Amino acid sequence: MRFDVITLFPELFAPFLEAGVARRAYASGQIELKLWNPRDWAEGNYRRVDDRPFGGGPGMVMLAEPLARCLAAIRADRADVAGQAAPVLLFSPIGEVLRHAAVEAWAGDARGAILVCGRYEGIDQRFIDAHVDQQVSLGDFVLSGGEIAALALLDAIARLQPGVLHDAGSHQADSFNPAVDGLLDCPHYTRPEEWGGQRVPAELLSGHHAHIERWRRDQRLTLTARHRPELIAAARAAGRLAAQDEAVLARVADAQAP
């Protein structure tokens, strides 16, 4: 699947394409990434990509025209990809906050996408109105550019590609995955068995597979009930909680009661 990124800072991407497990998704060609700098489509000796905002005020605004030309070049270059026009995503605090379900949908979407990274105060609204299909936010805070949001989305998509993580399906045990009913992950421990006076929970050393799985499920339920109760409500509404799960949750609720 192919992603094209429009960014004034393409050099920010390289380290993330070359390191860690995500690298495998690019090396194997499962994800093809092309970086496009709107400055290459800007005019004049200074190749201007921004200007002062109409109406005054601080900062600069990205010009619509270099972005539109850059996008047209991407469209021409992509002509054959999956036979369908790729959607244009803009990273912006306006967008819906990125969650697992959306990442999973993108990870399985053969069209890929064209990702637009804003800078400065943002980009001319007329480009957004004319070309952007969807806006995506990383959270309720402001970044200095969309690149970190683009990298976050690409990293999350890369680790869901088959074979990218060492253990096939290991991402299915991760937080928010439908395979664990959308719950948070359980705590993890490794050697030594005792560290700083703290022992690894005995269940994990028992060698008894069913006990270990039950312990992990109980931990997931307990942590999720404490930290993200809305995820418990969603799992319950989806019919994903068994009687044994509800018994664990009732104990958590009792322990939390004043």
Residue tagged active-site, from 109, 174, 185, 203: 174
Radius of gyration of the chain (CA): 23
Dist CA 50 CA 120 (whole Å): 8
Give yes or no: 121 in active site.
yes
Tell me the β-bridge partners of 91.
136
Q: Which of 1, 2, 7 is nearest to 150 (CA)?
A: 7
106 binds ligand SAH (CB under 6 A): no
Shortest distance, position 147 Cβ to ligand SAH, whole Å: 8
118 binds ligand SAH (CB under 6 A): yes
Dist CA 11 CA 173 (whole Å): 33
Give yes or no: 159 in active site.
yes
Only segment of 29-37, 140-148, 161-169, 178-186 that touches ligand SAH (CB under 6 A): 140-148
149 binds ligand SAH (CB under 6 A): yes
66 binds ligand SAH (CB under 6 A): no
Cβ-proximal residues to 144 (8 Å cutoff; 6+ apart), any chain = 119
Look up residue 69 and give its amino acid. R
Burial letters for 184-200: b for 16+ Cβ neighbours within 10 Å, e otherwise? bbbeeeeeeeeeeeeee
3 binds ligand SAH (CB under 6 A): no
**Residue (66 or 122) nearer to ligand SAH, CB:** 122
61 binds ligand SAH (CB under 6 A): no
38 binds ligand SAH (CB under 6 A): no
141 binds ligand SAH (CB under 6 A): yes
Q: Name the one residue in this structure whose structure tokens are 């270059």.
A: 77
Only segment of 5-13, 20-28, 118-126, 242-250 that touches ligand SAH (CB under 6 A): 118-126
Compute how many other C-beta atoms are within 10 angstroms of the C-beta atom of residue 36: 21
The residues binding ligand SAH (CB under 6 A) are 91-93, 117-119, 121-122, 137-139, 141-143, 145-146, 149
Active site residues: 93, 121, 159, 174
